[in-house]
Amino acid sequence: MELEFQAGPLQFRTQWKCMSVPQRSAEIDKYTPVPSAQRFSLNLSIEPSRAALSLPRGPVTENPDNWRAWEEGGGVVLQVWSGHSNSWAIEARITSDFSAAAIICRSDHDQHDQLEFLLATVLRWITSLRVTLEGGVLLHGALIGFTESGVCVLGTGPSGAGKSTLSSFFLERRSFAVWTDETTIVLPFGKSWHAFGTPWSGMLEVAKNEGGKLGALCFLEKAPEHCLETIGKEQAYLRIVKELYLPPWRETFTERALENLQRLIDEVPSRVLYFSKSPSVVDFLSEELVKL
């Protein structure tokens, strides 16, 4: 069975090779393909489940939370821990250029035939590294599109900065579109940068595979009154690097991601958006961004 999914401009061409029919819920709709001017693809195959996964060979990079990875056969093996079963439940064998992956689940895991579980567990890890190779970054941030101009603004900051609050105000206005309230793909397209929503949503569960030209980066801070302030490139870089989603895989990927971030800061206007908890921030930000 051949299936097609998407995260922003990244297209997942998927082959389901298991004997059972894939179980899917409404969550998989977040990966529904939409027309896009430019895509790059990743070929996935969902392999038949196995009683046991591979044992690591050689040095292992491990995140105490939920994954471990190592190099094998010229590629990468990623395994994801399941707190539900208290075991390494999913394995992805990924090519070195992150253009293809085979996904295997333990047969005794009760979600081994649930499509969205298999995809969500490994795709953000793979996507962050593939986007890095393409010259872009995967960032924690809310992405707001201005329908009339097609330009979008990325609102970012640490947990509690106001990404969900800001997104909720824009959701109420028809002339704007919120494409994600949590995870954004940012990529260079020619002489400009474009940003895209992804299936990996936040508190508001906003996840749309749509995007546009990135007009500004806004570092969010709650305040008694609305104010948009210029920020120096050095300070902007120090802020944005904290919002980078990149698994600590290899030093070369980290260096590349940091270079991509620096180029982003150099080429896209950065501002600090101080805002109060009021819907009036929508009109305020709209008027201010016209001046950039």
CATH number at residue 238: 3.90.228.20
Residues 284 and 146 grouped into a single domain? yes
Residues 7 and 148 grouped into a single domain? no
Residues 77 and 166 grouped into a single domain? no
* Final residue before a domain boundary, out of 133, 168, 201: 133
pLDDT 10s digit of each residue in the chain, 292 long? 888 888 888 888 888 887 677 776 677 778 776 656 567 889 999 999 889 899 998 899 988 778 999 999 999 999 998 887 788 999 999 999 999 999 999 888 877 777 777 777 788 899 999 999 999 999 999 999 987 778 999 999 998 899 999 999 999 888 899 999 999 999 998 889 999 999 898 899 988 888 999 999 999 999 999 999 999 999 999 999 999 998 888 899 999 999 999 999 999 999 999 999 999 999 999 888 877 6
Q: Any long-range contacts for 114-118 (C-beta under 8 Å, 24+ apart)?
A: 114/22, 114/23, 114/24, 114/25, 115/3, 115/16, 115/22, 115/23, 115/24, 115/28, 115/46, 116/24, 116/25, 116/27, 116/28, 116/31, 118/46, 118/90
Range of the domain at 77: 2-133
- How many domains are there within the chain? 2
Residues 95 and 162 grouped into a single domain? no
Residues 202 and 264 grouped into a single domain? yes
Q: Rounded to two decimals, what is the model's pTM? A: 0.92
Residues 63 and 126 grouped into a single domain? yes
Distance CA(221)–CA(274), nearest Å, equals 5
Residues 28 and 89 grouped into a single domain? yes
Residues 25 and 167 grouped into a single domain? no
What six digits make up the tokens of 208?
A: 């749309």
* Final residue before a domain boundary, out of 133, 168, 198: 133
Residues 97 and 220 grouped into a single domain? no
Residues 162 and 107 grouped into a single domain? no
* Final residue before a domain boundary, out of 102, 133, 164: 133
Give, in degrees to the nearest 5, the angle at Cα 136 between 153 and 132: 145
Residues 218 and 126 grouped into a single domain? no
